Structure 1
Amino acid sequence: MLGLATCGLLMVDRASTILDANAQLLEWLNCERDEVVGRQLETLLTLRMPLTDADGQRPTDATLHGMSGVVRPVVVGSLGTTECGAERIAVYDVSTRSAFNLGFRGAEAKTERGRQRLQILLNAAVGFGNVRTELDAAELLVDVAQRAFAASAVSVHISGSDGLFHAAGVNPLAAHWPAGLRAAGTVTLTGGKVLIVRSPEEADTYVPGAGMSDIYRAGGVHAAIASPMRSHGDAVGSMICFFDHPREFDEEAVPLAEALSNQAAQAIARIRLEDTLRRAAMHDEVTGLPNRRLIEEDVTRTLLQGYSALTVIFIDLDGFKAVNDLLGHAAGDALLREIGQRLRGVIRESDVLGRFGGDEFIAVATVDNVADAEALADRIRASIAEPYAELPPVLSITASVGVVTVGNDGAPVMDQLIRAADHAMYEAKMAGGDRVAVAPVESAPIFQ
């Protein structure tokens, strides 16, 4: 009866009982004609709107329900009624159009994700351009990566003089990390590429034999993405994003992780370069020793972490002017360099030594007591008084040394300590030189 095949056709009576269906519709339903005839229309078609209203007939979106459970988006419309009162309904398959719409919406969503990630990268670039310390860069990377990946936790590790250390964020695996296993982030750092862990079992493939899957489960981690932090080919550290739930990673995840971690790496490299240049500018050109400003920085950084007593030794050379006058400034510079080497050989590697200016040097050291400080000052004096092969016998070099020592019962003010040691040195100079003079602690307000 219904021979058209360009669309599906149905015939229903006034009670919406199906009277007939064409071959195309039966193919879509994956059934025989007798399985359809006699059924109610709503068992096969779910209409968005009625086919007729006060304005007459109109097409509407609908869903065709196949016998196998597969659904198909369709558009249906009434073709009118026959002489016997049966209604003819046309059914058009729009699954191709729907697939296009889904794909288009997917493309729109992907574009929006790309826009959001680009904005994250642009904002991060501004932030990383303003950070002033390595730890600030690490903290910023944690914040940005956590938002970019919606991560449960982010851990950032930076390579330092003692190896890789945890710089910022939270590492949920830390409490379960086996003793003796390389520090977290090492595999990522040395591998030089982004690693994706989609399940605890997959973690075992990156560190075989370490039981990483058990560590992941103990830490409540289901998935992770880890990226090395590299700047101009140099390894700076690593970033790890952890997820406490199963997580899939799209094709943009790796480039995003690389971009963020490398932004942080470049910021850290810039900070390190700036620090190197700054410190280089605070070194004496002749001896290579720190100048006064760097001496104070080094004392604060390396010595004031805990000590029994702190001594400042002020050294002024006796007879240096005659070397410059008779042999020239080149010989004087060579002599200053040798004296710097002698002084470095007397004090410990952890102590601070610098050139104060002209023929003056300063040494700052931690000692156990005042007697040790005076003994160190005298060893310095004796080392300088040793003969110099490059100098003629008529020229002798000695030193006037002033020393001040304070206990660890307050915050020492370096400027006042240096002034007190300088005054003591002047007393040694006025007494004839080649000697040590000790400044009384009460001679200056050396605590703040």
Structure 2
Amino acid sequence: MLNLPGCGLITIDGQQVIVDANSQVLEWLNSVRAEIIGRPFDRFLTLRMPLADAGDVRPTDATLHGISGVVRPVVVGLLDEDESGTQRIAVYDVSTRSAFNLGFRGAEAKTERGRQRLQILLNSAVGFGNVRAEVDAAELLVDVAQRAFAATFVSVHLQQPDGVVQVAGTNPLAAHWPAGVRPAGAVTLVGGKVLVVREPQDAEAYAPGVGMSEVYRAAGIHAAIASPLRSHGESVGAMICYFDHPREFDEEAVPLAEALTNQAAQAVARIRLEETLRRAAMHDEVTGLPNRRLVEEDVTRTLLTHYTALSVIFIDLDGFKPVNDMLGHAAGDALLRDVAHRIRGVIRDTDVLGRFGGDEFIAVAAVESPGDAAVLADRIRVAIAAPYDDLPLGLPITASVGVVTVGNDGAPVMDQLIRAADHAMYEAKMAGGDRVTVGSTGAD
């Protein structure tokens, strides 16, 4: 029988029964000749298409099946056929090519994943460019990361004045978090690098000695990936993706997490800068105090959550115009800054102080009672009336002060309170100045 290196040869009769097979075929089938000869051809070889006629060079794909369970992809072709119908068939092993095809399909799948991730990044870039609030950026990051990583949960934590705070998403570890341990996201934020937990035990390396692996197991979390939100080299927060099943992370996982959190960090940094510039534009250039609009915002943010009574104190300087007329505007501006400093020294740090315009100021304070508000207003009056080193004795400065107070029985309307305090100040001014008048909102 003809033997070609690397080529299998099978001879079949007119009844499609194997009458001969070379050693290469026997090796591939992991069989001896007696197990092959006399058996039907299709018991060992499955053709995808019928064999072409002898002399036709077109091969066909087939699969070689051994008795022991061996399966090998091959290509077969008809070499020749005699008058009795006996055929010789050449068999070529293509398992290497099949492995290549598998690798190629794997590469195609990787390319498709890369395309999908790129599309996610492009879409999220547009989204992060449009957000106008930090919480919106955090919620968008949760949504994008959940889709990009097929995560079970995602939480986003931002650095705030009072520490690292979760602002969006779900943290399944929170209910099991050890007492005294820094909040979730803090290690990632401080370290500035992506952290990968492939199994609960890996978490021990990031928070040693506190049983973090048990925290993961108690929460039903098998794996996690955490990435800092970094803008211009500074970490402003952290994102954590959690998985309730074993999860492998390919080589693109860390770059993808970094890309998403960098987009979010840029959005947060932009929002914070815009807020800083906006607030800077709402401050008085002479005294540096907030203007009326910012006073109302600050009151809403800092005072209207916990208070027994709220007092609005309207202050108008007596004798300011002569200072401007006789000593010039520079002296007037210096006096306004000095007055602002004196008022700030009387009220608490948590109280709000602003310049209403001209020589008028507004102070808003949380107090225990209307009587306390009147005492505070009089202390402001006394502080303003004290002598000024840079002013001649003939130019005394005093203040007409109006004060109104409301209880914590509903959201106060700041505009109404300011008008009422302004009216009380006007009464103090008409009564000769250098005094405090307690007014009413009209609803009392």
For the aligned pair, the TM-score class normalised by the smaller chain equals over 0.9
Cα offsets for 1:12-34 (capped at 9, x unmatched): 34454433222332343345444
Report the CA distance between 1:192 and its aligned residue.
1.2
Paired position in structure 1 for 2:11: 11
User: 8 Å contact 1:5–1:23 — kept in the other structure?
Assistant: no
Which residue of the partner structure matches residue 120 of structure 2?
120
SS at match of 1:248: coil
CA distance in 2, matches of 1:164, 1:70: 59
Identify if the C-alpha distance between structure 1 residues 18 and 130 changes in structure 2 by more than 3 Å, giving closer, same or farther: same
> 1:66: how far off?
5.0
Q: Which residue of 1 aligns with 2:76?
A: 76
Q: Distance in 1 between matches of 2:321 and 2:70?
A: 101
8 Å CA contact 1:46–1:62 kept in 2: the answer is yes
Match of 1:261 in 2: 261
Q: What SS is found at the alignment partner of 2:391?
A: coil
The residue number in structure 2 matching 1:367 is: 367
1:302/1:103 CA distance change after superposition, 3 Å: same
Contact (CA 8 Å) 1:60, 1:77: kept in 2 or not?
Answer: yes
Counterpart CA distance in 2 for 1:404 and 1:21 is 109
The answer to whether structure 1 residue 306 and structure 2 residue 306 are counterparts is yes
Is residue 158–residue 238 contact of structure 1 (8 Å, CA) maintained in 2?
yes
Which amino acid in structure 1 is aligned with residue 398 of structure 2?
T
Q: What residue number does 1:158 align with?
A: 158
Moved more, 364-373 or 75-84: 75-84
Shift of 1:174: 1.0
Report the Cα offset of residue 193 of structure 1: 1.3
TM-score, with length taken from structure 2 = 0.94
One-letter amino acid of the structure 2 residue matched with residue 74 of structure 1: V
Q: Aligned partners of 1:176, 1:84: CA distance in 2, in Å? A: 82
Give the deviation of 1:417 after TM superposition.
1.0
Counterparts of 1:339 and 1:39, CA distance in 2: 111
Alignment partners' CA distance in 1, 2:267 and 2:150: 23
Q: How does 1:208-357 map to 2 (within 5 A)?
A: 208-357=208-357
Query: What is the SS of the residue equivalent to 1:350?
Result: coil
Residue correspondence of structure 1 range 32-47 to structure 2 within 5 A? 32-47=32-47
**Of 231-240 and 7-16, the range deviating more from structure 2:** 7-16
Could you say which residue in structure 1 is the equivalent of 2:416? 416
C-alpha distance in structure 1 between counterparts of 2:265 and 2:76, whole Å? 60
Aligned-partner residue type, residue 349 of structure 2: E
The one-character-per-residue Cα deviations of 1:256-308 (angstroms, maximum 9, x if unpaired) are 11111110111000000000000000111111110111001001111111321
The aligned counterpart of 1:170 is: 170
* Aligned match of 1:201: 201
Structure 2 vs 1, CA of residues 242 and 34 (structure 1 numbering), >3 Å: closer, same or farther? same
CA distance in 1, matches of 2:42, 2:219: 52
Number of residues of Structure 1 aligned to a counterpart in Structure 2: 442
Q: Deviations over 1:363-409 (max 9, x none)?
A: 00111111011001000001101111111211211100001111122
Are the aligned partners of 2:228 and 2:258 in contact in 1 as well (CA < 8 Å)?
yes
- The CA deviation at 1:206 is 2.4
- For residues 4-53 of structure 1, what are the alpha-carbon distances to aligned partners after superposition, in whole Å with 9 as ceiling and x for unaligned? 23521112344544332223323433454445444443443233344479
Which secondary structure state, in structure 2, belongs to the residue aligned with residue 46 of structure 1? Answer: strand
CA distance in 1, matches of 2:207, 2:36: 60
- Residues 208, 15 of structure 1: CA spacing in aligned structure 2 closer, same or farther, 3 A cutoff? farther
Partners of 1:228 and 1:238 within 8 A in 2: yes
**Amino acid in the other structure paired with 1:356:** F
Give the secondary structure class of the aligned counterpart of 2:77: strand
Task: Return the offset for 1:72.
Answer: 2.2
CA–CA distance in 1 between the matches of 2:28 and 2:322?
A: 110
> In structure 2, the residue corresponding to 1:403 is in which secondary structure?
strand
Equivalent residue of 1:330, what SS? helix
Q: Which moved more, 1:41-50 or 1:97-106?
A: 41-50
In the alignment, which residue of structure 2 is the partner of 1:23? 23
Q: Is the 8 A contact 2:52 2:77 kept in 1?
A: no
Q: Equivalent residues in 2 for 1:100-139 (5 A)?
A: 100-139=100-139
Superposed CA deviations along residues 186-208 of structure 1, whole A, max 9, x for unmatched, are: 12112211112111122222222
Which runs of 5 or more residues in structure 1 are unaligned? none
Shift of residue 358, structure 1, vs aligned partner: 0.8
Query: Which segments of 5 or more consecutive residues in structure 2 lack a partner in the other structure?
Result: none
Q: Counterpart amino acid of 2:21?
A: A
CA RMSD, Structure 1 to Structure 2 (Å): 2.1
Distance in 2 between residues matched to 1:144 and 1:172, nearest whole Å: 18
Cα offset, 1:106, TM superposition: 2.2
Counterpart Cα distance in 2 of 1:30 and 1:80? 26
Q: Percent identity?
A: 76
Q: CA deviation at 1:360?
A: 0.5
Residue 202 of structure 2 contacts residue 213 of structure 2 at CA under 8 Å; is this kept in 1? yes
How many Å apart are 1:83 and its aligned residue? Answer: 5.5
Q: Measure how far apart 1:70 and its partner are.
A: 4.6
Asked if the contact 1:313–1:403 (Cα under 8 Å) also holds between the matched residues in 2, the reply is yes
The 1:355–1:264 alpha-carbon spacing in structure 2 relative to 1, beyond 3 Å, is same
Partner Cα distance (1:328, 1:217) in 2 = 73
- Report if aligned partners of 1:5, 1:22 keep a CA contact under 8 Å in 2: no
